[in-house]
Amino acid sequence: MEQIADVVSCNPDYPPEVLVYTPATSWDGVVRTVERARVAAREWWHSGATHRAAALHAAAERVEEARDILIDLISREVGKPSAEARGEVARAVAILRYYAQQPYDPIGAVHEPAQGRGMLLTRRSPHGVAGLITPWNFPLAIPVWKAAPALAAGNAVVLKPAPPATACALELAPLLAEVLPEGLFTVVPGHAETGAALVESADVVSFTGSTAVGRAVVQAATASGTPVQAEMGGQNAAIVMPDAEIDETATQIAGAIAGYAGQKCTATKRVIVVGDPAPLRGALVEALKSIEVGPPAAAGTVCGPVISAQARAAVLESVAGARVLAGGFELGSRQGWYIAPTLVDELDDGHPLLRNEIFGPVAALVAVPDLDSALAAANGVVQGLVSSVHTSSLGTALRCADELDTGLIKVNAPTTGVDFHVPFGGEKESSHGSREQGKAGMDFFTRTRTITLRQSTAV
């Protein structure tokens, strides 16, 4: 029998600390879990709106009660600064409460038949088993923002977390198991093979992660006719106009580059300055140097370690050939995988830092003469997740809202930070399929059936 690698996750601030060491779920194990979930899903759907709403409210309570344990675990397992980990837990609770309301919403419409008497109904019903494949960087919020709408709509959930975030998923599972029927929410730890097994056996697939893996997941799901959505990587630009308020803009952009060590899909990776770059460049270098780098648990830390030694090496390699304005070195005084917040400029057009997402606290500054060139530069990548524009002109803001090719556009606000109750997702290679969150989340986890009712001639 083929040996499957165990799942191990460790603390990026203190790598000798192992958070979890668990066997990966085999292909057959995933298939059996999905079959069990399919049985649980049928009963769950027919249990009624009140039952599902109450269970999701109870789930929110359990997560809230476990808040301190979860904050500590998120912080230790993925190196998220504890202030952000606190925000992530609060977000998960809010998402569960938001979707707890949704089972009471209308699930269809009534139409007149084209001819004769009777009614035409549309009704949204669940797919069955939702297979969720998640990244490590939001180890609680992303599993919950997929699971909550899936459950609210009447599906069962099987979650395959990213290996570096497995302990968080395994902490969430028993909290939900306390309030949900058996088999309705199951975690299958594992690597690519476990994920592939889930894609093949689930009835609907929701993926978040890197673009390369997302494309493979979309291809596999599509080949077997399974509905799939994928949210993937970004290469997000902040456009800074000459009329922007410089200090405020520099502070916002520095936070979006280096907060949580730049490991958000929405982190700023390119700063496109229109006109003379000197004032913004100076302010941004100062703002980055004043970012608090330190252990995730310490109050005030904004930038913790990156997730692995490989991730740190990738950041350091990415700045080759550029002029380094800030950072560009590892913080060897710490045992964990730390890098100083980094800003570079004078890059060739084709430089990888301007094209590929580097998941760490690093960004490139690009100077352009006017707004036309700024829009062309911002849109000149294959990704299209989020962009920001910093300006005091309403006209510029409106033009950017029209012309930026990204799923989210922020005006005088950092690229990072999203609201949980509105649709979220990117364009171009950052996204595939329908949006997540808000009502869009419920749409994805249901399918529409059209029901024709004719009056019997016996009546």
Please give the positions annotated as active site: 231, 265
Minimum CB separation of residue 233 from ligand NAD in Å reads 3
Of 84 and 231, CB closest to ligand NAD: 231
Minimum CB separation of residue 407 from ligand NAD in Å reads 9
Minimum CB separation of residue 151 from ligand NAD in Å reads 20
User: Among 206, 197, 160, 203, which Cα is nearest to 30's?
Assistant: 197
The structure tokens listed for 417 are: 């930070």
Residues making contact with ligand NAD (CB under 6 A): 133-138, 160-163, 191-192, 195-196, 199, 208-210, 213, 216-217, 231-234, 265, 357, 359, 385, 426, 430
The structure tokens listed for 244 are: 């922007």
Minimum CB separation of residue 170 from ligand NAD in Å reads 14
**Three-state DSSP class for 7?**
strand
Of 12 and 426, CB closest to ligand NAD: 426
User: Among 19, 34, 9, which Cα is nearest to 159's?
Assistant: 34
How far lies 125's CA from each of 46, 67, 155, 210, 242, in Å? Answer: 10, 33, 9, 30, 52
Of 154 and 262, CB closest to ligand NAD: 262
Name every residue whose Cβ is closer than 8 Å to that of residue 158 and which is 6 or more positions away in sequence.
30, 33, 34, 37, 129, 130, 131, 132, 186, 187, 188, 198, 202
Start-to-end Cα distance in the chain: 64
Of 88 and 231, CB closest to ligand NAD: 231
Of 33 and 249, CB closest to ligand NAD: 33
Name every residue whose Cβ is closer than 8 Å to that of residue 112 and which is 6 or more positions away in sequence.
119, 120
Minimum CB separation of residue 192 from ligand NAD in Å reads 3
Letter for the amino acid at 177?
Answer: A
Name every residue whose Cβ is closer than 8 Å to that of residue 62 and which is 6 or more positions away in sequence.
175, 176, 178, 179
Distance separating alpha carbons of residues 28 and 21, to the nearest angstrom: 20
Count CB neighbours of 450 within 10 A: 11
Q: Which residue is nearest to ligand NAD (CB)?
A: 195
8-state DSSP, 112: -
8-state DSSP, 412: S
Of 44 and 359, CB closest to ligand NAD: 359
Distance separating alpha carbons of residues 304 and 260, to the nearest angstrom: 6
Of 98 and 260, CB closest to ligand NAD: 260
